[in-house]
Amino acid sequence: MRRKEHRLEAESNRNRTFDTAKGIGILCVILGHLAYVNAVFPFHMPLFFVISGWFLSEKRSPKEFFLKRVCDLMPAYCFTSVCLILLSILHDALAHCTVQEIMRNALTVFLQALYGSGSDGNRTAWGIGQIGAIWFLPAMIWATAYIRWVVEVMTRPYVRILVVMCTFVACWQSARWFWLPFSIQAGGCAALFVYLGWAARKLLKLPRVREHYLRYRKYIVPVGLVAWLYLYEIGRFPIMVMAVFPKFPLTVILPILIIAAILHISKWIGALGVVARALSFYGRYSLPILCFHLIELEYCPWYVLRWKLLLQGVSYNMEILIIFLLKILFCTVLTLLASRIRPIRNLFRLPEPVTDNRIEG
């Protein structure tokens, strides 16, 4: 009985560590969209794919796994897309646009959602623009479902990594010429990070690998810090939304080292009480926070506040901090509200309403 309790406690602590890391990641996503902070770009998107690979389930067949991922993530994608369309109509109506302009802009958002590109820099068909941050959701579906299929079909490790690497290169290079719908190429590149997360979990179960890990883990954070400083200094990092990897393979290897360091730091943060609980909360609810972040990114007039702060003589760094905190507050409030509305809670696959006790641990 005690052994089972220890195992459950260890499992809970492990999940809390990953939730904390995801919380760091989603806050970095918000910060990166606000100020284009180069410091977050080397790791913030690969982090989510590595963690998804770590928790990749092999209980279902590849087909069942794919359908479950679609059911888990696409309702949130569709919900956010519908919100963007409705807000586009409302925005244009308040701006006294003509009916033709309102319908044209709503149709544009609909086509953007249908295509699923995350950046206007992608070479989409017919020049369709970006849908924004939720490109991540179809990319996650492709990446995880593909790796589940690879793991099922290919039994030899070197064959698996060869196939995953060939897929990565094909998606990376083809993105220079054309961009397929629903971020297929972004998902193909992200599959490499998913596979590395899955492989890391398998390897750490081997006694000799575990022994070496325990012996050298004290170097993980310093090495990750050096990797982060190097990428930050040279200004080169993976741009997963566009499947761009300058200075490859450094922009794959070094982010993995950074992510390993973040996971270790997240474990240390577990002793910080309220900070750990807050980050764990944002990690657990990173899906609705991402979707609500896109909504505020598109339709909240932050530029008005920035202009007023500028007129008040507020420094640039303080301006960024104020708006960053307001964005977090906006996403938090909507997430709390969503957790109390059953249809939306089910849509985001939230397990239960978020309460103050849950946030506090």
- Do residue 241 and residue 261 come from a single domain? yes
3-state secondary structure of 227: helix
Is 10 domain-assigned? no
HSE-up of 190 (CA within 13 Å, CB side)?
A: 32
- Do residue 309 and residue 235 come from a single domain? no
Range of the domain at 118: 15-276
Is 138 domain-assigned? yes
Q: How many domains does the chain have?
A: 2
- For residue 263, count CB atoms less than 10 angstroms from its CB and return exposed for 0-12, middle for 13-18, buried for 19 or more: buried
* Mean pLDDT, range 238-266, rounded to an integer: 94
Both tokens assigned to 272: 């910080």
**Can you list the alpha helix ranges (DSSP code H) found in the chain?**
2-35, 44-54, 62-94, 99-115, 136-153, 157-174, 184-203, 207-216, 220-234, 250-269, 274-284, 286-299, 302-311, 316-338, 342-347, 356-359
- Do residue 51 and residue 186 come from a single domain? yes
The pTM for the full model equals 0.91
Of the candidates 237, 255, 276, which is a domain's last residue?
276
Lowest mean pLDDT of 216-225, 239-248, 309-318, name the range. 309-318
* Residue 236: per-residue pLDDT: 87
Q: Please write the tens of the pLDDT for every residue from 274-308.
A: 899 999 999 999 999 999 999 999 999 988 998 99
* Mean of pLDDT over the chain: 90
Q: Please write the tens of the pLDDT for every residue from 138-160.
A: 999 999 999 999 999 998 999 99
- Do residue 329 and residue 193 come from a single domain? no
* Residue 14: per-residue pLDDT: 54
- Do residue 205 and residue 353 come from a single domain? no
Both tokens assigned to 299: 């339709």
* Mean pLDDT, range 199-217, rounded to an integer: 93
Is 4 domain-assigned? no
* Residue 177: per-residue pLDDT: 94
- Do residue 42 and residue 126 come from a single domain? yes
Is 85 domain-assigned? yes
- Do residue 345 and residue 222 come from a single domain? no
Of the candidates 241, 276, 311, which is a domain's last residue?
276
